[in-house]
Amino acid sequence: MDPERLRALLVEIQQGRVDVEDAMGQLGRLPFADIGFASVDHHRALRMGMPEVVLGLEKTPEQIAGIARELLRTQQNVLVTRVDARKAERIRELGVELDYREQARALISIQAPPKPVCAQPVAIVTAGTSDIPVAAEASVTLEACGVPTREVFDVGVAGLHRLLARVGELQTAPAVIVVAGMEGALPSVVGGLLGAPVIAVPTSVGYGAALGGLAALMGMLNSCASGVTVVNIDNGFGAAMAVWRLLRSVEASRDA
């Protein structure tokens, strides 16, 4: 149950359209539902402003389907990350209708459009085409949060003129997610060109000495551009959530 639905329920009680017993039944499903193999957090949308997101990695299709059904039963939006195509197909066979975004490896269902937190799109920038799957995970996560995005792909430092040609459109973004592997230099360059918050995502793309993304991570953590925030390797989801928390906080301060 999110804040808007709770507020609507309280208004209906106040106006006599919902009796106390019915309201108690609805609220009784908070704060979580125990479905045996998982405790589905129905209170998270109320606390955080967004429903629980499901990590699909290592979960069986049956477990994911069960969690998704519970979220859908209470009309919450559903986002499941790290799901391969075969697992996604099996979940659909189990009768759970979720849209599959193959490049992002994510399942999504929007039951109610989230409250917008910004008008301008967040820019998602990649150094190379190989970084796009991680960027796609960030993009679908922001979609679930109701945040518009703009994609600027394959503008890494090996051909810096490609980035410079897009700086004008990046300057209007309220935040920028920069996804890069190899040596991970792109967030420093972007952070030196733009004043918006920059969230850097190292990827596991690169040859041997890239060490599965560790070289990019170290490079980003040592960025000479002030204030660049770095998330974990391949964590497009984490980058998107960092941006959403930031934008939501700004929006809340404006409303105060």
pLDDT tens readout for residues 115-152 = 888 889 999 999 999 999 999 999 999 999 999 999 99
Both 99 and 164 in one domain: the answer is no
Binned at pLDDT 50, 70 and 90, residue 185 comes out as very high
Both 128 and 104 in one domain: the answer is no
Domain of 242, CATH number, reads 3.40.50.1970
Task: Kindly state whether residue 3 falls inside one of the protein's structural domains.
Answer: no
Full residue range of the structural domain in which residue 159 is found? 122-255
Residues 237 and 138: beta-carbon distance below 8 Å: yes
pLDDT tens readout for residues 57-105 = 999 999 999 999 988 888 888 999 999 999 999 999 999 999 999 999 9
DSSP-assigned letters across all residues of 83-141:
--HHHHHHHHHTT---EEETTTTEEEE-SSPPPP--SSPEEEEESSGGGHHHHHHHHHH
| The pLDDT of residue 243 is above 80 | yes
Both 143 and 197 in one domain: the answer is yes
Binned at pLDDT 50, 70 and 90, residue 167 comes out as very high
Give the per-residue pLDDT at 91. 95
Both 199 and 91 in one domain: the answer is no
Task: Please state the rounded mean pLDDT for residues 195-224.
Answer: 95
Q: What percent of the chain has pLDDT over 70?
A: 88
Both 21 and 48 in one domain: the answer is yes
Q: Kindly compute the dihedral angle of the four CA atoms of residues 222, 225, 230, 236, in this order, to the nearest 10 degrees.
A: -130
Task: Kindly state whether residue 88 falls inside one of the protein's structural domains.
Answer: yes
Instruction: Please state, in angstroms and rounded to a whole number, the distance separating the CA atoms of residues 217 and 193.
Output: 20
Q: Which of 110-114, 157-161, 217-221 has the lowest mean pLDDT?
A: 110-114
| The pLDDT of residue 255 is above 80 | no
Task: Work out how many domains the chain is built from and give that number.
Answer: 2
Both 89 and 172 in one domain: the answer is no
Both 77 and 160 in one domain: the answer is no
Both 84 and 179 in one domain: the answer is no
Give the per-residue pLDDT at 16. 72
Both 132 and 213 in one domain: the answer is yes
| The pLDDT of residue 109 is above 90 | yes
Residues 169 and 120: beta-carbon distance below 8 Å: no
Of 41, 75, 109, the one marking the end of a domain is 109
| The pLDDT of residue 6 is above 70 | no
Higher per-residue confidence, 113 vs 200? 200
CA distances from 46 to 50, 117, 130, 200, 224 (A): 8, 16, 37, 29, 38
Bridge-partner residues for 200, per DSSP?
A: 178, 230
